[in-house]
Amino acid sequence: MKYKNILVTGGLGILGSSLIKNLAKYKPYNIYVLDRSKNLNKIKIIELNKIKKLKIIKGNFNDYRAVDRLVKKKRIDVIFHLGAITQVIDAYKSPYETFNSNILGTINILESIRNLNKEILLIFSSSDKAYGSLIGKSYLENHQLKGKYPYDVSKSASDLIVQSYVKTYNLKAGIIRSGNIYGPGDLNMDRLVPHVIISLLNNKRPILRSNGKLIRDYIYVEDVANAYISLMKKMLKSKNRLRIYNVGSKENLTVNNLVNLITKLIGLKNIKPIIKNSSKIEIYKQKLDYKKIKKEIGWSQKFDIKNSLISTIQWYEKNLNFFNGKII
């Protein structure tokens, strides 16, 4: 079977756009994105309009017929399912929408594969949140998935559902559970890194929902995109029907540590964040053990946090007018 047609859900997000740019370097691939808005300004700002082999199709992966029609018509060989409601606070405010998108949307993808072609490779984007509270030093891939709050549960459930379809219907899937992704191309101002950078570039105090003491793996988007592509290549050559990997980082920082580093790199001294401490549904500490993916696939983190944040800050400086609501 020749693999040449790739579908990316969530293709206009930070990870999706980085993944697409890297996939476009490989000549055999035609890349399709299913997106509900086809926002031209959004497409332009993340520079996907420059990729000739990319086609953005208006639609929603929550619509089974739209998914099935696209997979069948374009003869999709590989699906990167990245699309989801990704913010803990959004999931808290809208649990029904979160479960509908993150769980039912995933089932729609799986059902399409099951009914059309079980050799279609699915690469599914899970999360460290799927594990729930950390017991021990770090999460291992064989730890139970025990999400507690709406977002965490949506990732635990969808992760387990993917595994169930592989074991029950002999589908082929890879699952990646990553930490907190940052980098150029993130248009979601509710996320920590873009919010802090844009606030500071406008000489405003960033607002932290937490107490600043939460500990997370922060990982550059290019590292994560490389992990997804490495997993795809491995599975296309492998007879193994299911592979699950953590994608973590050497940088395990508190929110305060990260904010202070960004502030220092921008060159500010006197601006301190406003700490609301209003978020009561966050896991205190998360740390991923990622020895398995390094051993079996050869992936490793290549980008250090300081230089990655400098590149990220420069991207937001370049596009500051867009984020300040001005026409680009």
Query: What are the residue boundaries of the structural domains of the chain, listed by start?
Result: 5-181+218-247, 182-215+250-284+303-323
97-137: pLDDT as tens digits: 999 999 999 999 999 999 999 999 999 999 999 999 998 89
What CA–CA distance (Å, rounded) separates 155 from 244?
14
What CA–CA distance (Å, rounded) separates 152 from 108?
20
Quick one: pLDDT band at residue 2, thresholds 50, 70, 90? Answer: low
Angle at 174 (CA atoms; ends 30, 231), nearest 5 degrees? 65
Question: Which candidate, 152, 151, 219, places its Cα nearest to that of 186?
Answer: 219
What CA–CA distance (Å, rounded) separates 180 from 324?
24
Question: Residue 328 has what pLDDT?
Answer: 47
What CA–CA distance (Å, rounded) separates 126 from 178?
7
The CATH T-level fold of domain 182-215+250-284+303-323 is UDP-galactose 4-epimerase; domain 1 (3.90.25)
Task: Report CA-CA distances (Å) from 137 to 133, 140, 177.
Answer: 11, 10, 17
Q: Which residues contact 167 (CB under 8 A, 6 or more apart)?
A: 242
Task: Read off the pTM.
Answer: 0.95
CA 90 and chain centroid, separation? 15
Please check the confidence at residue 36 and state whether its pLDDT lies above 80: no
User: What tokens appear for 198 in the block?
Assistant: 């844009």
- Catalytic residue status for 218: no
What is the three-class DSSP state of 177?
A: strand
Percent of the chain whose pLDDT exceeds 90: 80
CA 179 and chain centroid, separation? 9
3-state helix, strand, coil in the chain (%, to 5): 45, 20, 40
One fold for both 5-181+218-247 and 182-215+250-284+303-323?
no
Question: Residue 27 has what pLDDT?
Answer: 67
Pick the catalytic residue from 32, 131, 151, 245: 151
Report which of residues 315 and 327 the model is more confident about: 315
CATH of 5-181+218-247, one of 3.40.50.720, 3.40.640.10, 3.30.565.10, 3.40.50.10490: 3.40.50.720
